[in-house]
Amino acid sequence: MGKSVAGRIHDAIAGLTAAEKRAARGLLGSYPTLGLAPVAEFALHAGVSSASVLRFVAQLGYKSYPDFQRALRDEMEQRSKSPLQRSPTGISESPDDPRFLDHFIAQAVDNLRRAAALIPASEFEAVCTRLAESRGTCWLAGGRFTDFLAGYMEAHLRLIRPGVRRFDGRPATQADQMLDVRDGDTAIIFDVRRYDPALLQLASDLAAKRVQIVLITDEWMSPVSRFAKLVLPGYTEMGRTWDANGALLTVVEAVLARTTELTWTTASKRMGAIERP
C-alpha cells in the first residue's frame, strides 16, 4: 500500500496555494468524512470553490475526484480492520511452514525500508532538532499497543535532556498533568490502527494549548495527524493477524540516536553525572 491520503496531504501542504491549504485543513479537520462528500459540499465546508477542491485533489496525485474518494474508502477499510478481519496471508506458504521465522523477518526488514522511504529527511531532522533544543517540557503518550514505545522513548530522553514527562493513562491524573502543560511544549504521541479516541482528544486539548505535536504512527495515518506539526509514519502491516511495531521502534531509536548527537555536549554531561559511581 502507498501513502495514505492524510500522508499525501502532509507531504504536499507546503507547496499548496492558500485555497488548496484551506481545502486540506478542511479535510483534515473532518477526516475522512468530508472527502467522501460531493465536491460542492466539500467546497462549501472548507470555504473554497469547487475548482480549488479539484486542484487540491490533483496536487495529491489523484487523477479524478472519484479516484480520490476510492482511495479514501480503501484506506478507511484498512484502518478499521480488527485482527480477526486480517487474512494471515503473504508470509507463510502453508500453516506448517518451517521457514515462518525467515519469512516474518524478511517482511519486517522490508517494512523498515518502506518506513525510511515514507519519512522525509527534513521531517526527521525537524523532530530531532526540536528535541535537542530542549525548549519547554517534552510530553509523551501512547495507546494500548504503543504505550511501551512512549515509555521506552521517555527513559532514553531523560538521559539526554531535562523536562521529559509521560501522560498517565488515567483520565483524572491526566487532567492534573494538563495543568502543567505550557505554550511551546512538545508532545510526542504514538497511535496506530485501531486508533485510540482518547489520544485524539488529548491531541485536540494539547493543540488548544499551542503545544507542538509530533505524531509517530502507521502507514494509514492516525486521525491525530490533523493536529500534528510533524509526522513520522512507519509500516506496520505484516500480512497476518497482528501488525508489528518493529519499524516504529526503529524510528524511535533513530530519533534518540540523532538527538543525542545533536546535543552531545550537554547530553554527555547528563549521562556522565548519572553513571558516575
What are the residue ranges spanned by the domains of the chain? Answer: 5-81, 101-275
Query: Tell me, what's the pLDDT at 19?
Result: 93
Ranking 14-18, 74-78, 257-261 by mean pLDDT, the lowest is 74-78
Which of 266, 251, 272 minimizes the C-alpha distance to 127?
A: 251
Query: Tell me, what's the pLDDT at 74?
Result: 87
Contact residues for 211 (Cβ-Cβ < 8 A; gap 6+): 139, 181, 183, 184, 185, 186, 187
Q: How far is CA 92 from CA 53, 89, 113, 114, 247, in A?
A: 43, 7, 21, 21, 20
pLDDT in tens, 145-199: 999 999 999 999 999 999 999 999 888 899 999 999 999 999 999 999 888 999 9
Cell 490533483 -> residue: 58
**Model-level pTM?**
0.77
Residue 146 in 3-state DSSP? Answer: coil
Query: Tell me, what's the pLDDT at 95?
Result: 65
Whole-number percent of the chain with pLDDT over 90? 61
Architecture of the domain spanning 5-81: Orthogonal Bundle (1.10)
Which of 192, 181, 178 minimizes the C-alpha distance to 143?
A: 192
Contact yes or no for 131/259 (Cβ under 8 A): yes
What is the DSSP code (8-state) at residue 211? P
Quote the cell numbers at residue 105: 523477518
Contact yes or no for 68/35 (Cβ under 8 A): yes
Q: For the chain, give the mean pLDDT.
A: 89
pLDDT in tens, 89-147: 554 445 677 888 998 999 999 999 988 888 888 889 999 999 999 989 999 999 999 99
**Spatial separation of the C-alpha atoms in residues 35 and 49, rounded to whole Å:** 15
Query: Tell me, what's the pLDDT at 212?
Result: 97
Asked if the 101-275 domain carries CATH number 3.40.50.10490, the reply is yes
Are the folds of 5-81 and 101-275 the same? no
Check whether 85 has a pLDDT greater than 70.
no
Residue 87 in 3-state DSSP? Answer: coil
DSSP string, 66-86: HHHHHHHHHHHHHHT--GGGS
